[in-house]
Amino acid sequence: MHITVYSTRPYDRAALSAAAQGTPHQWTFLDVRLDTSTVATAAGADAVCVFVNDQLPREVLQALHALGVRLVVLRCAGFNQVDLAAAAELGMAVARVPEYSPYAVAEHTLALVLTLNRKIHRAYARVREGNFALDGLLGFDLHGRTIGVVGTGRIGETFCRLMTGFGCTLLAADPQPNPDCVALGVLYVPLPELLARSDVVSLNCPLTPQTHHLIDAAAFAGMKRGAMLVNTSRGAVVDTRAAIEALKSGQLGALGLDVYEEEGDLFFRDLSGAAIQDDVFARLLTFPNVVVTGHQAFFTEDALAAIARTTLDNISSFAATGQPRHPVSVERVV
Ligand code: NAI
């Protein structure tokens, strides 16, 4: 098969090339994002391989279909960027990497919690300036605190296990409780109760129509005053403008983001010499109690290798049987 790969960075190319050794597939690596303006570059491809910020609404899928593309392989777990109903109507297969390393994302979530709690981002800068004062760096023991986990699938469960090791009390909200979490001692409660009781809230659910702006102004108002929110799921699960208001009032005590609802125009590229055009994002960066990472929670050696292996598996399975190994079906979004 001929696969055109979008949003390619050097590390993607290296991992996919290593996994593809010995297979008959041909690859075209492009660094552009797949969207309506770039879709013509898929000419000649049987499959497109895309990442989190490529955009595949109906019109892009129709254009891909007209070019002869029959398979969309996502090299990520989330699939909110694809119009699955349109893909099904067109008879196009969509595949994803359902699981690669829940540890990568759960451990990064923990890194954000620890950084924000112990103010490591501020301490790092201070010490380099020769400022060894501790004022403003006060944290709290995680031991004995209550952690609320919204979404206890693979990543949420792994994060629960890590926090259990710290001696935390764990609450969770999920329409499908995970028996392994129950066995771990996690207590499932309605989301408003989780928000009201938790010192730290971690978002680990997918972005769906039901979870879009799940954490909005009302949700912030219902949180424990001064609590921490960490989002390593998808940006639009949080209403960023409401988060800014909650930070300004002190209702939200700290915010850790690995994802941002408008990240498509920002993340995965070097904009250090450019003016940030997104004023909402720029405002976020002014708060001392906000830490943003650029969608790097997945970014470990182990995860990249696993993503490449599963992507190849999806492609080879489709080439052999007409079905990818890990299809995403339209039922998953309803
Ligand atoms: P998963 O499919 O194993 O688990 C998701 C869980 O969320 C399920 O238990 C589901 O029932 C639950 N859920 C669905 N709707 C919910 C709602 N309204 N409220 C609470 N829970 C709800 O997915 P996994 O592998 O744990 O990944 C979770 C999300 O993390 C992905 O969908 C993706 O968006 C994000 N992610 C982020 C990465 C990063 O680099 N920042 C990397 C990988 C995934």
pLDDT at position 94, please?
Answer: 98
Looking at the fold, whether 17 and 91 belong to one and the same domain comes out as yes
Looking at the fold, whether 325 and 230 belong to one and the same domain comes out as no
pLDDT at position 329, please?
Answer: 78
Any ligand 1 atom below 6 A from CB of 232: yes
Looking at the fold, whether 74 and 189 belong to one and the same domain comes out as no
Pairwise CA distance, residues 254 & 116, whole Å: 7
pLDDT at position 143, please?
Answer: 98
For residue 257, the SS3 value is strand
* CB-based contact 125:178 (threshold 8 Å): no
Looking at the fold, whether 8 and 93 belong to one and the same domain comes out as yes
**Which has the closest alpha carbon to 51: 108, 104, 9?**
9
C-alpha dihedral, 166 to 288 to 240 to 139, nearest 10°: 20
Q: Which residues of the chain have pLDDT under 50?
A: 333-334
Beta strands in 214-273 (DSSP E): 227-231, 252-257
Any ligand 1 atom below 6 A from CB of 78: yes
**Structure tokens, 164:** 């259990």
pLDDT at position 103, please?
Answer: 97
Looking at the fold, whether 85 and 163 belong to one and the same domain comes out as no
Looking at the fold, whether 125 and 218 belong to one and the same domain comes out as yes
* CB-based contact 13:307 (threshold 8 Å): no
The residues that are catalytic are 234, 263, 295
* CB-based contact 291:256 (threshold 8 Å): yes
Supply the CATH number for residue 237's domain. Answer: 3.40.50.720
Q: Specify the residue with its C-alpha closest to ligand 1, atom 36.
A: 233
Q: What is the DSSP string of 5-34?
A: E-S--HHHHHHHHHHHTT---EEEE--SPP
Pairwise CA distance, residues 271 & 279, whole Å: 15
pLDDT at position 330, please?
Answer: 67
Straight-line distance from the first to the last Cα atom of the chain, in angstroms, rounded to the nearest whole number: 32
Looking at the fold, whether 74 and 188 belong to one and the same domain comes out as no
Any ligand 1 atom below 6 A from CB of 321: no
Looking at the fold, whether 115 and 254 belong to one and the same domain comes out as yes
**C-alpha distances out from residue 52 to 75, 95, 126, 292, 295, Å:** 8, 13, 35, 17, 9
User: In sequence order, what are the beta bridge partners of 321?
Assistant: none
Pairwise CA distance, residues 327 & 314, whole Å: 8
* CB-based contact 115:93 (threshold 8 Å): no
* Number of domains the chain is built from: 2
Looking at the fold, whether 12 and 130 belong to one and the same domain comes out as no
HSE toward the beta carbon, residue 233, CA cutoff 13 A: 29
Looking at the fold, whether 121 and 176 belong to one and the same domain comes out as yes
* CB-based contact 109:202 (threshold 8 Å): yes
For residue 62, what are the domain limits? 2-100+301-333
Ligand 1 atom index nearest CA of 232: 41
Looking at the fold, whether 138 and 268 belong to one and the same domain comes out as yes
Pairwise CA distance, residues 5 & 46, whole Å: 11
Looking at the fold, whether 219 and 239 belong to one and the same domain comes out as yes
280-291 per-position pLDDT tens digit: 999 999 999 999
Any ligand 1 atom below 6 A from CB of 150: yes
Pairwise CA distance, residues 34 & 269, whole Å: 15
Pairwise CA distance, residues 167 & 162, whole Å: 9
